[in-house]
Copies of this chain bind each other. A is one copy, B any other.
Amino acid sequence: MQATARALCEHGYSRLRVRDIDEYFGKSRQLINHYYDGKDDLIEAVLKYLLEEYERGIAVGDDVDPEQQLHSYIQEFFYGPDIEDFDHWAFVTALIELRSQAHHYPRHQELLMENYLHLRGILVAIIETGIQEGDFREVDADMFANAILAVISTSRMRKVCLDDDEAVENGRQILDAIILPQLFREPDRD
């Protein structure tokens, strides 16, 4: 374990291998608790690396319409980026454990908050583009972003922590039936 930690620190942020991260995050709370204190750089490096990977999976660009972008964003956050050897659910598990302890570690709290605001910013931008282009209704983009992320967050937590196999399906259903219909402009209304 010491060896893994040293390897991660020595590799540095840009050269972290997915396998290292899996190994690092795969080892239950004992390991994570063990590395909490004073290992902020490591946690920061891993969070940043994975943030980039998640971001890469979101379809963007002028040729992708906001509705497609929104669906790819949601897909990415439910099921994770398509990286070889990457275990999305192991990462989500580790993230939830890290988060549940973050009130003891101001720096982790700060990192998780930055991380969240960054990812949330992407979602707000997608919604605002959709509104500008007339695809979406003129909603409060911040509020809808919060709502979408709340549903995804709870679904992931329930699947991972409570082994609730219906959680992801339930989350998608809430988005598809309650939240997204209020966002998309229906052709026959408004």
Checking B97, B102, B104 against A162 with a beta-carbon cut-off of 8 angstroms, the contacting residue is B102
Task: Let me know if A151 and B147 touch, CB within 8 A.
Answer: yes
Checking B102, B151, B182 against A161 with a beta-carbon cut-off of 8 angstroms, the contacting residue is B102
Highest count of chain B CB atoms <10 Å: which of A33, A146, A157: A146
Take A100-B100, A104-B28 as given contacts and tell me if A143 and B109 are in contact as well, using a CB distance cutoff of 8 Å.
no
Take A101-B29, A162-B116 as given contacts and tell me if A174 and B147 are in contact as well, using a CB distance cutoff of 8 Å.
yes
In the assembled complex, the Cα of A179 lies from the Cα of B146 at a distance in Å of 13
| Chain A 45-66: CB-based contact to B (< 8 A → 1; otherwise 0) | 0000000000000000000000
Copies of this chain in its oligomeric complex:
2
In the complex, what's the smallest C-beta–C-beta distance from A170 to chain B, in angstroms? 5
In the assembled complex, the Cα of A97 lies from the Cα of B154 at a distance in Å of 15
Q: What are 7 sample pairs from A and B whose C-beta atoms fall under 8 A apart?
A: A97-B100, A100-B100, A113-B163, A143-B170, A143-B174, A143-B178, A150-B174
Take A109-B162, A146-B170 as given contacts and tell me if A97 and B93 are in contact as well, using a CB distance cutoff of 8 Å.
no
Q: A177 contacts the other chain (Cβ, under 8 Å)?
A: yes
Residues of B within 8 A of A103 (CB): 93, 160-161, 163
Interface size on A, residues (CB 8 A): 41
Inter-chain pairs besides A100-B101, A143-B177, A178-B182, 11 sampled, C-beta below 8 Å: A99-B161, A100-B161, A102-B162, A144-B178, A146-B173, A147-B179, A150-B153, A150-B154, A153-B154, A157-B157, A182-B182
Q: Which of A11-29 contact B (CB under 8 A)?
A: 28-29
| Chain A 142-171: CB-based contact to B (< 8 A → 1; otherwise 0) | 011011011101110100111110000011
Q: A140 contacts the other chain (Cβ, under 8 Å)?
A: yes
Checking B29, B140, B174 against A104 with a beta-carbon cut-off of 8 angstroms, the contacting residue is B29
